[in-house]
Amino acid sequence: MTTSRPANIDIGAALAEAEELYQANNPKSLAQHRSACAAMPGGNTRSAIHVDPFPLTMVRGTGARLWDLDGHEYVDFLSEFTAGIYGHSHPAIRQAINAALEGGLNFGAHNATEARFAAVICARFPSIELVRFTNSGTEANLMAVSAARAITGRPKILVFAGGYHGGVFYFRGHGSRLNAPFEYLLGRYNDLAAVEALVRPYRAELAAILVEPMQGTTGCVPAERSFLAGLRALADETGALLIFDEVMTSRLAPGGLQEVHGILPDLTTLGKYLGGGMSFGAFGGRSDIMGRFDPRRPDAFQHAGTFNNNVLTMNAGLVGLTEIYTPERTHALNASGDRLRQRLNAVVQRRGLAMQFTGLGSMFSVHMTDAPIRSQEDAERGNAKLRDLFYFDLVARGIWFAKRGMFALSIALDEQDGDKLAEAVEEFSETRAPLLAHTQSG
């Protein structure tokens, strides 16, 4: 694929030219999108992967490579928004799935793998003494929040601007009218004083504090340890339950970011890669809380779900966590991610451009601003059109990542792949330097 190189400082014109080139290079994906619109609203059944003017359709993946309908090859730096940590069709994952298929599906009963998988998760994550499985991180967060409300007998949930906890807990931008109908207090991320002031009038009504130790969707914005420690103290003082959403961040250390910070929540929610690439979610925590779900109790909380313990996920997840993404592999991948993020930042810093990469370990995001980013408000100050231009330019160079600027590494990537990304960022920085400099000075 070819790329355009306008020598002007009109971001709108450069973006329009990049979109025209994108459309010209991908006629089959455009035709597929138009066809899909006949059966799905906007041709879409997953909002996060829609792209204007139309999304690309992928037809094959191997290792760290993807191919689209028009035959273009990409290095996959998105890794299914952190769920694809094993790359495409890892042989050990395939073997586990094949073994499950041979044994039969849909037992309508307990299977031999689920307890083993649960034990591994309990051993790996410091706050989890007992765990239950769901089909997604959304379900896991819904069950955790609902349990907190039932246990405390209180209505309000403290969440944070820029947070994303699944399809019914969306607090990025202006939020979502489809959010679960709970009573929310919307706090500012990484601003403990403002949060304490917000909560003060409602201390007796607060059921839970739901927080990501690093906000992923809003641009890989890490929580400061003092902020998380303050939330732990606030939960203790008010009697609310502290819930860490580690659906994404659990990949960043063997025991997630709760292990890194040494701060234990009352409940933890999980998902994404932990299912070995299959649909997966889980919530777990202190035994006295999770014990409320024990069906042997006369007052047990109900929690059903046909596919909660499906054999494909149980087998793939167990193999992934015990044989592939071991603690040693976890440390290696995230150290590699830190080095790559630092390398990319060095590229733009050498030129003094209004651009940066934030994140931790194997997750990072690009922002078109050189100002510090500690919250959604900070991230929104970046130039959105310039970030879109970055997306189209890098896709044209064979780099696959999220249009909102997010990257997630898989174990299938190698040093040469990192070199390719760094070279693409270097070329973008050189080609688009007038636009970046204009944004900074403007």
Predicted local distance difference test score (pLDDT) of residue 9: 66
Kindly state the average pLDDT of the residues 356-377: 97
What confidence category does residue 5 fall into, taking pLDDT thresholds of 50, 70 and 90?
Answer: very low
Asked whether this chain's domains 11-76+333-441 and 91-324 adopt the same fold, the reply is no
Residues 6 or more apart whose CB falls under 8 angstroms from that of 311 comprise 100, 103, 104, 105, 107, 111, 113
Exposed/middle/buried for residue 181 (C-beta within 10 Å: 0-12, 13-18, 19+)? exposed
Write the class of the CATH domain 91-324: alpha beta
Domain ranges of the chain: 11-76+333-441, 91-324
- CATH number for 11-76+333-441: choose from 3.30.420.40, 2.60.120.330, 3.90.1150.10, 1.10.3720.10: 3.90.1150.10
Active site residues: 164, 245, 272
Give the per-residue pLDDT at 273: 97
Q: Which residues have CB under 8 Å from 393's CB, separation 6+?
A: 3, 18, 424, 428, 431, 432
**pLDDT tens profile 173-198:** 999 999 999 999 999 999 999 999 99
Reported as a pLDDT band with limits 50, 70 and 90, residue 439 is low
pTM of the shown model = 0.96
Which position has the token pair 């044989």?
323
Residue 314's nearest CA partner among 5, 55, 103 is 103
Predicted confidence (pLDDT) per residue in 279-325, tens digit: 999 999 999 999 999 999 999 999 999 999 999 999 999 999 999 99
